[in-house]
Amino acid sequence: MPPRSRTRSVATGFSLEGIFQVMFDAAKNSLQQNVRSKWPKIRDLTTASIKDIAQNFIDIKELSDSGAITQEQAKLKISLQKNAFQTMLLTEKGIGLIIVEDALNSALNAVKKVVNTAVGFVLI
């Protein structure tokens, strides 16, 4: 009895290698698309925010050194900048997770198609 054709499985996509490739390609495409569309906006916004926050730190020091604001006021202003920076990092974290989530779901959707094609009906 001849060995079962491995090529046939790969052709239909229902082999470990085939499924891995389908999932990997879908995840890769999703990541590439999202990094192209979502990331530049966040990167630009983040860069501008970091510049503004850095400038604010310099301005706070100048105002404090000249005696225009008290030490307590300087501390309040620095805490405000820290909060803004942390909020920015949380947004970056959230957008990063959304991008990863899209990639995972794209991979799962791709393998759904492979399974349904392999069994010949809509199983999942």
Residue 117, interface with another protein (CB under 8 A)? Answer: no
Spatial CB neighbours of 113, under 8 Å, sequence gap ≥ 6: 22
d(CA 100, CA 29): 12
Is 105 a binder of another protein (CB under 8 A)?
yes
Q: Which of 32, 52, 50 lies closest to 91, judged by CA?
A: 50
Cα 17–Cα 23–Cα 28 angle in degrees, nearest 5? 120
* Minimal distance, residue 102 CB to another protein, in Å: 7
94 binding another protein? (CB under 8 A): yes
CA-CA-CA-CA dihedral for 22, 25, 31, 36, to nearest 10: -140
Which candidate, 107, 78, 91, places its Cα nearest to that of 39? Answer: 91
Distances (CA, A) of 5 to 11, 12, 21, 26: 10, 11, 18, 26
Interface with another protein includes 123 (CB under 8 A)?
Answer: yes
Note whether 90 binds another protein by CB under 8 A: yes
Asked if 59 interacts with another protein (CB under 8 A), we say yes
Closer to another protein at the Cβ: 31 or 53?
Answer: 53
**Minimum CB distance to another protein, residue 2 (Å):** 17
Which residues of the shown chain bind another protein in the complex (CB under 8 A)?
14, 16, 19, 38, 41-42, 45, 49, 52-53, 56, 59-60, 63, 67-70, 72-73, 76-77, 79-81, 83-84, 86-88, 90-91, 93-95, 97-98, 100-102, 104-105, 108, 111-112, 115, 118, 123-124
